[in-house]
Amino acid sequence: MVREKHYDECYFLNYNTYSDINLFEVGSQKCPPSYSFGPIVRKHYVLHFVLEGKGTLYLNNEPFHIVKNEAFIIPPNVVSFVKADETEPWNYIWIHFNGPKAIELLADAGMSKETPVFRSTGDNRQLIHILNDLLQHSENELRCIGNLYHLFHELITHTSSKPQYNKIDERLKYVKTIIDFISVKYSEPIKIQDLSDLCGLERSYLTKLFKSSTGYSPQEYLISFRMKRAKKLLSDAQLPIQHVAYSVGYNDQFTFSKAFRKTTGVSPTAYRETHLMDDTNKKK
């Protein structure tokens, strides 16, 4: 049963316009004794870095014991449960993130669903500094995204685990192939069968593989990528919306507007007006 949160700080960010990696939340929590959360299935990756104390992470009922100066990852689409120690409970900082590059960066840091714990070979002061900077400057989007990459640099540099590519190398290869294809061909008609043919895999298997790796189906990722590109194009007030639609792979403005509204909750015109108004206010 999911229990009430007792976090000290929590900032909901939703920095989700980037093609590689996105940041949704950062927070800190000094857990009470025996605090637990779950079982729950997450939509995004959640990384915790333990500043003090100890506890246990369960992924699909498999226990992993984590102590001070270690980190652990909760992958999307996996049943997870966490429990702090009854005498030395956790004090940690966490981040929610996702994106097509997430699984690759985590693999480079030696972290995966099978090996979710990060153990450092060196000094963690820089890593802790980055996490605190994320907390203190959560309102600064570019600073946060930069810090996210810097965080992964520290994790990759100081991991005590060699990347576990034996189990995920093939999966990464297919995921990267699809992502690279979409990033180049998103303005053209793309069918899921095209992606299946590209990888030489059966359609349902490819969809399952891609979703387990990224949290998105190939179709969801394609739409998400197109909408992110559309948002950037809509910032140009001189570009007709019909041209935006063509530029991101839609043959007509109506179909594009319907997809955009479904994804963002507003029409392209309303999004453009709000975006331009925000930019004007920032310049005042």
pLDDT at 169: 62
| Residue 7 pLDDT | 61
Least confident of 30-34, 86-90, 152-156, 275-279: 275-279
Confidence tier at 8 by pLDDT (50, 70, 90): confident
Q: Which helix (H) or strand (E) holds 84?
A: strand 79-84
Residue 14: predicted pLDDT: 84
Q: What is the sign of the dihedral through the CA atoms of 151, 116, 67 and 48? A: positive
**Average pLDDT for 134-158:** 94
- pLDDT tens, residue by residue, 178-197: 988 998 899 999 999 999 99
Rounded Cα gap, residues 135 and 148, in angstroms: 12
| Average pLDDT value for residue range 86-104 | 91
Q: Mean per-residue pLDDT for 60-68?
A: 95
Residue 4 pLDDT more than 50?
Answer: no
Please give the pLDDT value at position 171. 72
Question: Could you tell me the two tokens for 220?
Answer: 């969801």
Asked if residue 39 has a cis previous peptide bond (ω within 30° of 0), the answer is: yes
- ∠ at Cα 60 (162, 135), nearest 5°? 65
Q: Are 63 and 88 in contact, with CB atoms under 8 Å apart?
A: no
The confidence score (pLDDT) of residue 278 equals: 62
Shortest CA distance to 6 belongs to which of 50, 36, 40, 43?
A: 36
Distance CA 132, CA 25 (A): 13
Mention every residue, 6+ apart, whose C-beta is less than 8 A from residue 273. none
**Side chain identity, residue 215:** G
Read off the pLDDT band of 102 (50, 70, 90).
confident
> Looking at residue 267, what is its pLDDT?
94
Band the pLDDT of 175: cuts 50, 70, 90. confident
pLDDT value at residue 113? 86
Task: State mean pLDDT over 23-50.
Answer: 93
Paired residues of 28 in beta bridges:
9, 93
Cβ 159 vs Cβ 119: under 8 Å:
yes
Q: pTM (2 decimals)?
A: 0.68
pLDDT at 129 over 90: yes
Question: Which has the minimum average pLDDT: 41-45, 161-165, 227-231?
Answer: 161-165
DSSP reduced 3-state for 113: coil
Q: What is the pLDDT of residues 198-228, one digit of tens each?
A: 999 899 999 988 887 777 899 999 998 999 8
Packing angle, helices 203-214 and 218-234, rounded to 10: 60
* HSE-CB for 230 with a 13 A CA cutoff: 33
Domains along the chain with CATH numbers: 9-162 (2.60.120.280), 166-283 (1.10.10.60)
Give φ, ψ of 243 to 5 degrees. Answer: -70, -35
Residue 3 has pLDDT above 70, yes or no: no
pLDDT > 70? residue 167? no
- Higher-pLDDT residue of 74 and 166 is 74
256 burial (CB, 10 Å; 0-12 / 13-18 / 19+) is buried
Q: What kind and span of H or E run contains 54?
A: strand 54-59
Q: pLDDT per residue over 250-260, tens digit each?
A: 999 999 999 99
Q: Indicate if the pLDDT at residue 5 is higher than 50.
A: no
pLDDT of residue 282: 54
| 249, pLDDT greater than 80 | yes
